[in-house]
Structure 1
């Protein structure tokens, strides 16, 4: 079985999947290029808890956790089966690392999960387990969580962090141009990722204009999680680069 990399995907707005764009094309191509996973474990920025929570439901429903978008988005379905055994095993790995996880049953797929997966794997025939982000616990915690789960990749599990490399929505709705503070943080982030700089990602708030790019942490933290899931010697490679105003849609692989 081919061992997949771990991924970080900037998922953008849910309607990204409706229209032609370089990012949507990239997701579709990525799904065709990656080795077919045995299952998917995805951390979404839209599933936030105080400690790690793994969803083990066998048949997750849909969560339309947004408002004001095109009506067809609220009719979409992603009927991929859940992955109960994967969720339980991942929770045991997190428990062994001292990370105090929980397992839930009954939470559906939010758009941080179903929007990119619907383009990557449109057949919806790969089992999916979802995992929460802990916004108050910081980058080092998420690296440690990713590293605890990295052995799952040896079993063909694709580990994904779904968030945003930059995510200042107020700035996005104020000015359509890309401000220098977003471009500079995005490039600093790429440099630190490709250098395998775990210290920089653990203390990402010290990056240039970091808190301006991320007024809240939940969209950033799936990135250090994916970095950690790449393994203790992981370095990242930027697979896709796109800026829409102050929002980066960059994507990375870690191995």
Structure 2
């Protein structure tokens, strides 16, 4: 079985499920570029252990419901369902892998898939025929903790599991709502300077800089006033790097902007397998 890359994707607004955009078009074609996975492990910014009693969880329902965890959008969006099956056996594998590295997580038999998971997956795998398991982030934990999570999960890539971190390379909702820019508005300098800095450090393999981009990059805090949407990037990076001491390799698969302030970058990790 061919080793799969790990991916990070920027999921943007829930309206990506309905509105045309370059990022939507890219994700709609991504599934055809990837080897067919046996299952997907999705790490979403909207499944946060810090707001779940501090308890890191992984979904273990055989039929995870679609969660509409947003408001103020059209009825058409609330009517959407993503009926992908779950994979309780994969959930237990995740529990075992993380536990073996001192990163305990609990299987949750009830939680479903939030929009950070089902909106992009509805484009990548619109038939909803690949089992999906979702792992929480912990916004009160460090970037290094999330990177270590990814490293612990790296063996899944050899088992046919596609590990995806779903967040956003930029995410300042207060600025977004204040600006109210059209979907095709160009990005201001404070957005592009940050994303270019991240892309440069990623290409150079300077992992520590990327892990601390919010503190070190120009306009880091402007683009991430809170950490939850960049943390899935670090899990995906760790899963791509693994623990074998191999050189860190990444590929920026897509870069575009929606609403002026949401950068929609997509990255793949994992050496030769990152070059799709």
**Range of TM-score over shorter length:** over 0.9
2:241 to 217, 231, 234: 231
For residues 108 and 152 of structure 1, the distance between their equivalents in structure 2, rounded to whole angstroms, comes to 21
CA contact (8 A) 1:44 1:130 kept: yes
Q: TM-score, normalised by structure 2?
A: 0.89
- Which structure 1 residue ranges, 4+ long, deviate > 3 Å from structure 2? none
> Is 1:182 equivalent to 2:191 in the alignment?
yes
Residues 135-144 or 190-199, more deviating: 190-199
> Is 1:85 equivalent to 2:89 in the alignment?
yes
Aligned-residue offset at 1:128: 0.6
**Structure 1 spans left out of the alignment, 5+ residues:** none
For residues 21 and 181 of structure 1, the distance between their equivalents in structure 2, rounded to whole angstroms, comes to 22
Residues 156-165 or 239-248, more deviating: 239-248
Aligned residues: 255
Q: Secondary structure at the match of 2:45?
A: strand
For residues 210 and 112 of structure 1, the distance between their equivalents in structure 2, rounded to whole angstroms, comes to 22
For residues 179 and 85 of structure 1, the distance between their equivalents in structure 2, rounded to whole angstroms, comes to 45
What is the Cα-based RMSD across aligned positions, in Å? Answer: 1.2
What pairs up with 1:100-111 in 2 under 5 angstroms?
A: 100-111=104-115
For residues 248 and 235 of structure 2, the distance between their equivalents in structure 1, rounded to whole angstroms, comes to 12
**Structure 2 spans left out of the alignment, 5+ residues:** 271-276
2:73 to 69, 76, 87: 69
Q: Secondary structure at the match of 1:108?
A: coil
CA contact (8 A) 1:227 1:235 kept: no
Q: TM-score, normalised by structure 1?
A: 0.97
What are the superposed Cα offsets for residues 99-129 of structure 1, whole Å, 9 maximum, x if unpaired?
1222111001100000000010011111110
In structure 1, the partner of 2:266 is 251
For residues 196 and 117 of structure 1, the distance between their equivalents in structure 2, rounded to whole angstroms, comes to 28
Aligned-residue offset at 1:51: 4.7
Residues 28-37 or 50-59, more deviating: 50-59
